[in-house]
Structure 1
Amino acid sequence: MVSEPDVVRLRPWRARLVCWICAAAVLVVFTAVATSLHGSTGEGSATFQRGDQLSMVGLGILAAAGILLFTRPRVEADARGVRVRNILGSYDLPWEEVRAVRFGRGSPWATLELSDDESVPMIAVQAADKERAVAGVRALRALHERHAAAGREWAAADPTATGERAGPAGERAGSAG
């Protein structure tokens, strides 16, 4: 976890370590198998050529790249909102959309509970990282609470506030055009 004032960046630690080790091992195994393939002239045995060996190394590279996809998750949050990048999808959410940051007992990773009763998994904050994950969730909750407190102050200061917040161009957030 790397923190700057009002910026939280989170990435899984143990999963990334395991993925890099596994990717390297898979690549070594595929390369070793490729180099052990020899041409044979005996009757009934297979004949392997240079192209077969290169294909085997290529498969090893593809398998290692697939494993390294699991190192992609990250979470970055600041005063504007939270950006979640999971293995295949990404989310850019303003704090107004986030109702709570959840990390239930027995849950493999933290989630964001959204105002429309949806939830977004944050695979970057994994239970396997133990104290790092707990510290990350606490930092996210602190940012969320600061934003919620600022919203309450804004609503209290504006007697005409309807509960909707104005967007950057003056339009109301959440209204469909």
Structure 2
Amino acid sequence: MDDAVAFAPFRPRRGRAVALVAAVVALVIFGGIAVLLPGADRGGNWTVGDRIFFAGTGIGIAFLLWRYASIKAVPTRTTLTVRNLLLSRTIAWDQIVDVQFSGGDPWVTIELADTDRVAVMAIQKADAEAGRAEASRLVALVQALSPPAPGPDDLARG
């Protein structure tokens, strides 16, 4: 596999597109509400504070949706940096014990040597075949870049 393809960032496809469109819609709707609310000058009782609240709500929703759209996992030769909705984490390849993409989980989960589990939200079941292909690419990277597990001969010498 070509290095450019192998080390390309993992990103969700459908979820990213939906989140970006929804962010724009939220800004338009809440911004429109903030602008069009009738104030005292137009026979209404909405205040500037109400307008700021609606505009802020739209900005907050758009920010969360943008953050969701920016979910990714970036592989390098030494690490995998996972950026999920709230947290980012950099993991050395030799710390990854298992990659799971089955059951009812909506995205890939990696199990670490310290028994911690990390969701990789960038590889999602909603992406169907593309998601399965990306999960396979992650498994191939883990196998290629993790040191081999110690065999019986290594344990006897240890």
- Give the shorter-chain TM-score range: 0.7 to 0.9
1:56 aligned onto 2:79: no
C-alpha distance in 2 between matches for 1:41 and 1:71: 40
The verdict on how the C-alpha distance between 1:39 and 1:76 changes in structure 2, with shifts beyond 3 A counting, is closer
> What is the Cα-based RMSD across aligned positions, in Å?
3.0
Paired residue for 2:28?
Answer: 28
Q: Which stretch of the first structure deviates more once superposed, 89-98 or 45-54? A: 45-54
Paired residue for 2:83?
Answer: 85
Paired residue for 2:100?
Answer: 102
Amino acid at match of 1:16: R
Q: Which stretch of the first structure deviates more once superposed, 128-137 or 64-73? A: 64-73
1:17 aligned onto 2:17: yes
- Aligned residue-pair number: 155
Structure 1 segments unaligned to the other structure (5+ residues): 163-177
Amino acid at match of 1:75: A
Paired residue for 1:7?
Answer: 7
Paired residue for 2:66?
Answer: 68
Shift of 1:77: 1.5
- Partner of 1:130, secondary structure, is helix
Which structure: greater helix fraction? 2
Compare CA radii of gyration and give the structure with the larger one: 1
Paired residue for 2:123?
Answer: 125
C-alpha distance in 1 between matches for 2:49 and 2:65: 24
- Partner of 1:92, secondary structure, is strand
Paired residue for 1:139?
Answer: 137
C-alpha distance in 2 between matches for 1:34 and 1:100: 49
Shift of 1:136: 1.0
Between the aligned residues of both structures, percent identity stands at 29
C-alpha distance in 1 between matches for 2:149 and 2:55: 60
TM-score scaled by length of structure 2: 0.81
Paired residue for 1:168?
Answer: none
Shift of 1:102: 1.1
